[in-house]
Structure 1
Amino acid sequence: MSDSSFYRLSLEGKKVELSYLELHSIRKDILLYFDENVGEALDLYLPFDVFKQEYWKYLSIDFDDHFGESASYKDLIERGTLALINGITLDILYQPVASMETAWGEQKISFDEIIPYVEAYRPSCQMLENGKTLVLDALNFIEQLTWNDVDENGDIISFDTSVQAVWFDENIVQEYFRTVVNRSCGGQKDPE
């Protein structure tokens, strides 16, 4: 029996219960990623020896019993894992290509593993649907990457990451901090 009411959906659509320890670990990585990368749309800091979890499996997070923070935890983890997956794709796309290997990190995360979870993900709002589309476009590009997509230095020339990078920074990462500040100020705006 789980010690929380949170769960994620497997690819088969079955509920997989999540413990508070598991939620805390994912939340900790999301907050570190947000803190390290706020305002850094094109120059992400994402060391793969720090970010080691299977974030894509948590896109489908939900809960059975509503408690005080249930909705905000769900929202943070849904948005944060999508942002982390985006960060992983951008990290691959920013590195000079030495081979056509489509894996990331020391544990060699395969995009073949990530793509089905992103495809199965049902965003909770239209804004996140837009993010899902951007991530899928990047993942599919990486999966189909050929030598025609890179220049003589190994840099990618046929995929513009700037729109995707700025979108995630503004709509997910910076928006998280705006929401926190607004909440801490009681939702009040500064007097002019």
Structure 2
Amino acid sequence: MSENPEKPKTPKSSDSLTSKPGQPVTPAADGTDNIQAGDVPEQTAPPEEQEQEDPPRPPGLKHSGPGIASFIISVTMLLSGIALLVISTTLLSDGSGGITSDTFIDPRDAGMQQTLLRIGTGFLTVLMMLLAAAVLGILGLAQKQRKKWFAILGTVISLIPLVAFIVLYLIGLVLGSLAV
């Protein structure tokens, strides 16, 4: 006479729910009952969205911030120095495509003096920025648990022109003292 009334079954946690809070949950298609009262089932994305997610990357080392800054500054200043060298060589050429010992800059030509002053200031700025890039590169090399490639490249690219300038400056001092 009395039959056992069947309790409403709840879906697995992996099944998506269409009911709202406060409404009864419809039973799962396979008839399993894994969710207890008060539990909130996990909502999963459709399979096409799951395939588009990036797989987790293994933990690795990050690039050194000062190393990246050193690399960017050194490359930029190297290109700026080359441009300044080309501009100054063009201004000092005699028109035949070369610089001769007869090249003379008229001291009364104020425009040329200002131009040469700006080029000299540009070279000094490039040298100071290359020095800053070398310091940042060394700081990047000193960091632990960081990749060192940008720091190495930035340090090397910034130190080569600095050393070349110092060597040429010293040669000029020696040759200047011998000419007197």
- The TM-score with structure 1 as length reference comes to 0.28
Per residue, is there more strand in 1 or in 2? 1
Is the radius of gyration larger for structure 1 or structure 2?
A: 2
- The TM-score with structure 2 as length reference comes to 0.29
